[in-house]
Amino acid sequence: MYQIFRTIKMMSQIIRPMRFCAPIVATNNYLNLYNLNQFYMSLLIDTNEEDEEVMSIKKEKCVVQN
Give the C-alpha separation, 34 to 10, whole Å. 19
Note the pLDDT tens digit of each residue in 12-40.
665 555 555 555 555 555 556 666 666 66
HSE on the CB side for 31, CA within 13 Å? 1
Which pLDDT score, from 0 to 100, does residue 38 have? Answer: 66
Average pLDDT estimate for 56-62: 55
Confidence at residue 64, expressed as pLDDT on a 0 to 100 scale = 54
23 close to 63: Cβ distance less than 8 angstroms: no
How remote is the C-alpha of 55 from its chain's centroid?
8
- Residue 37 structural domain: 2-65
Domains held by the chain: number: 1
- The per-residue pLDDT of the chain, averaged, comes to 59
Q: Which amino acid is at 44?
A: L
Residue 9 has pLDDT above 60, yes or no: yes
